[in-house]
């Protein structure tokens, strides 16, 4: 018997590790709101954005010839978040949409420029280009919508963005929490075992229940700070965000399965890496932003 194999942690230990990591993050977010500190939340978001990109491109490290492509993606990510932080500190408004288009354009141009340096390898070369562009969209552009939400003016007069971000994070993460808790307690029927063996239909029900409850609580507690959301809009949006969060969680599972890696990292006890923590937010943030833009217009 191989004594080097680490014992599998108990479900209780994993739960309390997840709880600790979640409470720590919520403590930082609560402090930023209490101090009305935009820069703290922007810095935190930028850290997650950069760290998520690092973890994504680490998933592709087995392809030695793709190192220059991965480096390109990371450089675009650093340039993006550096520009975002400079923009919001100087202008006190949301970063412009052209910044996302610039990052996308740079990844496409840069990916092809890197191809000119070496002999083409057929489909492998195309995969490296696509992986680079996808990484920028997935970890940079998608997560950048959280920064844009922070400065969303829901009532046209005062900035309600910080509380809209809280709504997004709470509904999204309560979806994750509900799926985990009810899945552990009642999970019997596997949902998509070829992608995520731990996911169950009972957990899916828990995700919808918890996310809906979180949305209802916030809409009842601080309705005036969630403009342009109304009770009707918020409750109708909650299941949409929940379904999107589940899709985002499964999307990261697809990435890990395809690269034969269990966790994207080990930054947070019981959760894994940055991507394991933010995968659902990557999908819900742009959906939430465009929904708000539609109803505010």
Domain boundary residue, one of 86, 118, 151: 151
Are 133 and 99 members of one domain? yes
Mean pLDDT of 176-181: 90
Are 85 and 168 members of one domain? no
pLDDT in tens, 67-110: 999 999 999 999 999 999 999 888 888 999 999 999 999 999 99
pLDDT value at 11 more than 70: no
Are 143 and 100 members of one domain? yes
pLDDT in tens, 238-259: 999 999 999 999 999 999 888 8
Q: What is the pLDDT of residue 1?
A: 42
Range of the domain at 251: 161-297
Are 204 and 230 members of one domain? yes
Range with the poorest average pLDDT among 9-13, 32-36, 125-129, 186-190: 9-13
pTM of the model: 0.88
**What six digits make up the tokens of 236?**
């109708």
Domain boundary residue, one of 86, 116, 151: 151
248 domain residue, yes or no: yes
Burial of 85 (0-12, 13-18, 19+ CB in 10 A): middle
State the Cα–Cα distance between residues 175 and 204, nearest whole angstrom. 9
Domain boundary residue, one of 124, 151, 178: 151
State the Cα–Cα distance between residues 185 and 188, nearest whole angstrom. 9
Are 122 and 42 members of one domain? yes
Are 283 and 249 members of one domain? yes
Are 237 and 172 members of one domain? yes
State the Cα–Cα distance between residues 169 and 22, nearest whole angstrom. 11
Are 52 and 94 members of one domain? yes
**What six digits make up the tokens of 246?**
């589940």
Q: For residue 162, what pLDDT band results from cuts at 50, 70 and 90?
A: confident
31 domain residue, yes or no: no
Range with the poorest average pLDDT among 31-40, 41-50, 194-203, 254-263: 31-40
pLDDT value at 40 more than 70: yes
Q: For residue 5, what pLDDT band results from cuts at 50, 70 and 90?
A: very low
CB atoms within 10 A of CB 45: 23
Give the three-class secondary structure for 272.
strand
Q: For residue 155, what pLDDT band results from cuts at 50, 70 and 90?
A: low
Give the three-class secondary structure for 235.
helix
Q: For residue 6, what pLDDT band results from cuts at 50, 70 and 90?
A: very low
207 domain residue, yes or no: yes
What is the tally of structural domains in the chain? 2
27 domain residue, yes or no: no
Is the model more confident about 91 or about 273? 91
25 domain residue, yes or no: no
Q: Does 228 sit behind a cis peptide bond, omega within 30 degrees of 0 on the bond before it?
A: yes
Are 129 and 230 members of one domain? no
Range with the poorest average pLDDT among 39-48, 179-188, 211-220, 279-288: 39-48
109 domain residue, yes or no: yes
Are 129 and 57 members of one domain? yes
Are 269 and 248 members of one domain? yes
13 domain residue, yes or no: no
139 domain residue, yes or no: yes
pLDDT in tens, 189-239: 999 999 988 899 999 999 999 999 999 999 999 998 898 999 999 999 999
Name the H helices within 93-200. Answer: 98-115, 123-135, 142-150, 161-186
Percent of the chain with pLDDT over 70: 82
Are 166 and 288 members of one domain? yes
């Amino acid at each position: 018997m191989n004594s080097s194999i680490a014992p599998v942690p108990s479900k209780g230990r994993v739960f309390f590790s997840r709880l600790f990591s979640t409470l720590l993050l919520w403590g930082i977010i609560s402090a930023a709101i209490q101090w009305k500190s935009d820069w703290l939340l922007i810095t935190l978001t930028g850290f997650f954005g950069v760290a998520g990109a690092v973890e994504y491109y680490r998933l592709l490290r087995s392809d030695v010839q793709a190192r220059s492509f991965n480096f390109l993606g990371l450089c675009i990510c650093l340039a993006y978040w550096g520009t975002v932080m400079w923009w919001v500190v100087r202008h006190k408004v949301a970063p412009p949409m052209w910044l996302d288009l610039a990052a996308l354009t740079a990844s496409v141009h840069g990916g092809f420029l890197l191809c000119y340096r070496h002999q083409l390898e057929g489909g492998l070369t195309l995969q490296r280009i696509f992986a680079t562009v996808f990484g920028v969209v997935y970890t940079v552009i998608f997560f950048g919508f959280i920064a844009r939400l922070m400065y969303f003016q829901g009532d046209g007069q005062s900035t309600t963005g910080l509380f809209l971000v809280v709504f997004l994070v709470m509904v999204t993460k309560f979806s994750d929490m509900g799926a985990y808790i009810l899945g552990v307690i009642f999970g019997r029927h596997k949902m998509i075992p070829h992608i995520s063996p731990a996911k169950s239909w009972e957990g899916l029900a828990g995700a919808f229940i918890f996310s809906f409850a979180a949305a209802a609580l916030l809409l009842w507690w601080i309705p005036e700070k969630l403009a342009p959301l109304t009770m009707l809009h918020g409750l109708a949006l909650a299941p949409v965000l929940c379904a999107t969060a589940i899709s985002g969680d499964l999307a990261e599972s697809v990435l890990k399965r395809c690269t034969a890696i269990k966790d994207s990292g080990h930054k947070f006890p019981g959760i894994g890496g940055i991507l394991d923590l933010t995968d659902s937010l990557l999908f819900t943030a742009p959906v939430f932003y465009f929904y708000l833009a539609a109803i505010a217009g």
